[in-house]
Amino acid sequence: MKLLALVLLLSTFSSLTLTEVVNFKQFCPSFFIRNPGKIGDIIIPTIFRGHQYKTICQRWKNTYRFATVYDTVRRIPVYSAYTFLEQGNTSRSEEWKIEPQLEDINEYKNKKEMMDSPRDLKTVGNIINQAVDLDYGKSVYTRGHVFPHSYAANQDQANSTFTLTNIAPQTQNSNGAWEQQVEEPMRTENKEHLQARPKAPGVHCDRGRSRE
């Protein structure tokens, strides 16, 4: 059984036209709930209008791991959508990644999946549409996961969450409070649904509230 989980981070947005990195329905529909009114269709949450909002099917080791709507002006994720299968025995990664397709850099244009965040200042200076690891070097903010690494079913999926397109800057206190008050209770609730309905098609979680 699959448990579909959607985490939203919202702010104030403008209203122009959306440009896509990829199309959710074409490349990674499995992270969204099916539309009961239309066979083969899925229901995608709000994608805010504006040239800065990009849809990303987060790809790592030739597999789509989750989906993200990303704001390239504020350089933060709006939301990530993912499938909760089970909590695996995983560890944290210290290798932070970026999404090369967000940048207008020749050597990045043919890259189809996330890559390590560059550390040389010349390359970093050319990355303008997303955060890089060096942004956090002397910052008072910590890296707050939108798709929590602790929700991953295996190590490859856990490693894929360590992309900066899945990270919102948080203070240390805020990051810890979010983990205790939101991530841990939601993880427990997800597990309970998996155990109670092992053959059910899924439970859709929206902003921490679950419904079958």
Task: Return contacts of 190-194, CB within 8 angstroms, 24+ apart.
Answer: 190/3, 190/5, 190/84, 190/151, 191/86, 191/87, 193/3, 194/1, 194/3, 194/84, 194/86
Domain definitions of the chain by residue range: 3-195
Domain 3-195 CATH (choose: 3.30.70, 3.40.570, 2.60.120, 1.10.3470): 3.40.570
What is the full per-residue pLDDT of the chain (212 aa) written as tens digits?
444 444 444 433 333 334 457 788 888 998 988 888 887 788 888 778 888 999 999 999 999 999 999 999 999 999 999 988 877 889 999 899 999 999 999 888 889 899 999 988 888 999 999 999 999 988 999 999 999 999 998 999 999 999 999 999 999 999 999 999 999 998 898 888 877 776 554 444 433 223 33
Which one-letter DSSP state was computed for residue 2? -
